[in-house]
Structure 1
Amino acid sequence: MNPYEQRRTFKYILLAFAVLIAGGSLLYTNYLVRNIAHSERTRAQVWAISMQQLVRSDDDENLQFILKVRDSLSVPAIVVDEKGDIKFSRGLDTAKTFIPSVIGGKDQSFPKYDPAYFQSELEFMKSQHRPIRIATFNKNYWLVYYKDSQLLTQLRIFPYVQLTVIAIFLLIAYYGFSSSRKSEQNQVWVGLAKETAHQLGTPISSLMAWIELMREKFDAENDPLIAEMQNDVRRLEIVADRFSKIGSKPVLEPHRVYDVVKDFVDYFKIRTSKLISFEVHGSRNLKAGLNIPLFDWVIENLLKNAVNAIDGPGSIRVDISGSRKKKQVYIDVTDTGKGIPRLKFETVFRPGYTTRKRGWGLGLSLTKRMVVNYHNGSIFVKDSELGKGTTFRIVLKSLTDEAKPNFKPATQRLEEQA
């Protein structure tokens, strides 16, 4: 199991624990809610009995006790008769209600109340709980409707509010730590790249001097072996120069994308196996802001990745297209290699991920950094099928400026960089 699969497994374990904690919190809260709801139902029933006794009793000695029981209820309630007329209410908004009472069968008159408010409250109570029926006179009855107390209502929503706050806090914390970690990784990445370029500079300069000395000492100005050694040293200079540009803001200049890509593909294919064919197709007039040394590196990494994916004969095709509406340029690099599983489409761009035994897993990661950070574009796996091949797509911002007239071929550019 590679480090990214281990990290993903660890994330799933943490997510499972979080779900268990959230589920446990909700279950326990629901348990408390059921108990409190049962307790409120019991109190509402006791209150209904006290109302029944208040209506039917003429015993003045028990009247005060019954009134105290009635007034002890903290649950909002409405009492209606069999016709649906409101006879009594408790725990509602006092600014919109009045408190009628029936003592000894005699109604007392009070100011009018807000019918719409009462009707709204009554409908809500009906939706929450079934009514409690109490008998009155002459086989008539009243219905007691009630709703959850404010405490119970708050307790019902409390776990969701709590989980929401915790989730927001965790997201903010994760974003903060992730940003900090990425910043540290970027600093390490840039520092390592620049230090590598710096360390390579001295031995490369020394090797160039030794080559010139060999030519003079052995009179080997046209010796092919020394020429090849010089080409390899120049190649090292190009690599060191590329690493030195990482971390610095590159200068982007308008270039025709087709010319840049086609020229580098031509340079690259003669240094690759003859079993692999290369093709470049698409519009020749699309332009984008490019830093040629870094963009050559991007194309080189994609082509090398495609070559490594092909086992035996195969082909690599580069298609260049664009969208006038979106003002974008698309560069599709398609190979006939072994393909990438769909679950790995994002993973292949992470540092350290590789399917090769001797690979470091930095090529595509570095490619994405150069496209996103330095060319303000994007790169992703457009399509892939196991055993048939893969297509990588680069998206760049299209420019309307004319391409630079002094465009130079890849061989000359690489020599000048050296």
Structure 2
Amino acid sequence: MKFSHNFSFSFRHRVAIIVLGMIIGITSLLFTDSMARTLREKEQNEVAIWAAAIRENNMSPNNTLLRAIINARNNIPFIVTDGSLKVLHSHLIPERVLNHPNLLREKLTQMSKANLYMEVRTWANDTYYIFYGESGLLKTLVYFPYIQLLVIVVFIAFGYITFRSSKQDEQNRVWIGLAKETAHQLGTPTSSLLGWIEFLRTQPVDQTAVEEMNKDIVRLTKVVDRFSKIGAATPLSEGVVNEIVGDSVMYFRTRVPKNVTLTYNGLAMARQKAMVNEALFEWVIENLLKNAMDAVSGKGTIDVRLSDDPGHIYIDVSDTGKGIAKSNFKRIFEPGFTTKTRGWGLGLSLSKRIIEDYHGGKISVLDSEIDKGTTMRIALKKIYS
């Protein structure tokens, strides 16, 4: 309960930080957009004042006083032309544009799209056109919201990744602690059971049953060893995949229901080798076999098949059970996801971690069809020796 409370507290704080960041970002966007609109209106008013000065005072755009007023502390690019679009005056326009008819035409068109040009008629019936664009500051304000939006998206993405990472780390610590505690708790009764097996071997009882019990105790000892390895360094060594898989199949063969057929082709094949941690790899095979047994519900066929290509060894575990919906092909590997009425939904999640993180392999649903069966595939890198 204490862990759950701490996790909820941490979760709320992370969500609050992300929401606060979004509020700040949206507020900044709205404020910047408002500033851009205000500056645009100011620049339009300035150009309107210039136009009024030319019209009301019957000034030529080349008038020295007018030019001094317009150019003073002004960063609005503009071009003033006569009625035939001959350039009379310009500001912040490169000479190469002014001297090139095509570039000049493109510039005038561009300015007209940014702001509607102003037509000025003086009392002397002279006609002038003022084409003007956006100042550098206005352009910065116009594009700045998009930069802010990008920053917000990156912020949210990093926040989400950090949240997921910290959540996963927290879950990993819990599972590792749970696994080690389980190994510790199982260790004492397992040792005791080994002692009782040795005692039964000296008694006048059916030794066949004792040997089967011993196999189960050995298997339980392996389970304890597997749990103790979670979270610790996982050394890999050269292993014969045929034999490792075969040991698990042989163990389950005497324990499957009588109406379930368990087949395996690996022992008749050439030896296939890979770098594995035998205890953990066996765990994955057993988990797939148990899932297959659950899927067939006491009646059906489970087929374990080895195949290979020059670079990989493939272990396929097929059953004739209830199948998996295609939408769940990836979800079945998520911690906590299960279609069973009981269980924690950790088996395939741990299997994926063991195969992909520890062994550098791949585990996936090769094929599945509802009410017809499922084939799970493990792929390992082959080694030659």
TM over 0.5: yes
Deviations 1:295-334 (A, max 9, x none): 121111112112212245333334444454xx33333333
Question: Is 2:342 the partner of 1:342?
Answer: no
Q: What amino acid is the match of 1:238?
A: K
Q: CA deviation at 1:280?
A: 4.2
Pair 141,246 (structure 1): closer, same or farther in 2 beyond 3 Å: same
- Report what 1:52 is aligned to: 55
1:153-192 superposed matches below 5 A:
153-192=139-178
Look up the equivalent residue of 2:341 and give its one-letter code: K
Deviation for aligned residue 1:25: 6.9
**Runs (5+) with no aligned partner, structure 2:** 1-7
Q: How far off is 1:196 after superposition?
A: 2.0
1:235-281 deviations in Å (ceiling 9; x for gaps)? 32121122222233333233443454345334323321233334446
Q: How does 1:237-256 map to 2 (within 5 A)?
A: 237-256=221-240
Report what 2:78 is aligned to.
77
The letter of the residue matching 1:143 is Y
The equivalent residue for 1:102 is: none
Q: Matches of 1:270 and 1:222 in 2, distance apart?
A: 17
Separation in structure 2 between the aligned mates of residue 20 and residue 149 of structure 1, nearest angstrom: 29
1:317-356 alignment runs, 5 A limit: 317-324=303-310, 327-356=311-340
Using the alignment, how far apart are the partners of 2:174 and 2:147 within structure 1?
40
Q: Are the equivalent residues in 1 in contact too, given 2:81–2:87 (CA < 8 A)?
A: yes
Structure 1 match to 2:294: 308
Other-structure match for 2:40 = 37
Q: 1:384 to 1:87 in 2, by over 3 A?
A: farther
Q: What letter is aligned with 1:291? A: N
CA separation of 1:15/1:186 partners in 2, compared to 1, >3 Å: closer, same or farther? closer
1:294 Cα offset (Å): 1.7
Q: How far apart, in 2, do the equivalents of 1:20 and 1:315 lie?
A: 58
Structure 2 residue 281 is the aligned partner of structure 1 residue 295? yes
Could you tell me how far apart the structure 1 residues matched to 2:211 and 2:318 are? 35
**In the TM superposition, what whole-angstrom CA distance separates every residue of 1:335-367 from its partner, at most 9, and x where no partner exists?**
332232333333222222222222121211111
- 2:21 touches 2:152 (CA, 8 Å); kept in 1? no
Q: Which residue of the other structure, out of 175, 180, 183, is the alignment partner of 1:194?
A: 180
Name the amino acid aligned to 2:317. V
Tell me, yes or no, if the aligned pair for 2:265 and 2:305 is still in contact at 8 Å: yes
**Residues 280 and 146 of structure 1: is their aligned pair in 2 closer, same or farther, counting only changes over 3 Å?**
farther
Name the aligned partner's letter for residue 216 of structure 2. D
Tell me the TM-score normalised to structure 2 length: 0.78
Mark the CA change 1:67 to 1:24 in structure 2 (over 3 Å): closer, same or farther: same
| Aligned positions of 1:131-170 closer than 5 A | 131-136=117-122, 139-170=125-156
Structure 2: distance between partners of 1:125 and 1:295: 70
Secondary structure, counterpart of 2:382 in structure 1: strand
Q: Counterpart of 2:87 in structure 1: which amino acid?
A: I
Q: Is the 8 A contact 1:47 1:70 kept in 2?
A: no
1:274 equivalent to 2:258? Answer yes
- Structure 1 unaligned regions, length at least 5: 1-6, 98-111, 403-418
Q: Which residue of 1 aligns with 2:5?
A: none
Distance 2:90 2:234 in 1: 76
- Cα distance per residue 1:99-157 (max 9 Å; x no partner): xxxxxxxxxxxxx9963697365453234233211225875522211112223222222
> What is the deviation of 1:23?
7.6
Amino acid at match of 2:344: W
1:369 partnered with 2:353:
yes
Superposed CA RMSD in Å reads 4.0
Structure 1 length as normaliser, TM-score? 0.72
Kept after mapping to 2: 8 A contact 1:43/1:73: no
Q: Following the alignment from structure 1 to structure 2, what is the Cα–Cα distance between the partners of residues 19 and 341?
A: 37
Whole-angstrom distance in 2 between the partners of 1:391 and 1:78 = 73
- Partner residue in 2 for 1:209: 195
Name which of 236, 249, 273 aligns with 1:265.
249
Instruction: State the alpha-carbon separation in 2 of the partners of residues 261 and 211 from structure 1.
Output: 26
Question: Alignment identity in percent?
Answer: 40
- Decide whether the 8 Å contact of 2:297 with 2:321 is kept in 1: yes
Q: Which amino acid aligns with 1:48?
A: A
- Residue 165 of structure 1 and its aligned partner are, at CA, apart by 1.5
Q: Which residue is 2:3 aligned to?
A: none
Structure 2 CA distance for partners of 1:136 and 1:315, relative to 1, 3 Å? farther
What letter corresponds to residue 261 of structure 2 in structure 1? Answer: S
- Aligned position for 2:89: 88
1:189 partner letter: W
In the alignment, does 2:366 pair up with 1:382? yes
Cα distance in 1 for partners of 2:71, 2:240 equals 88
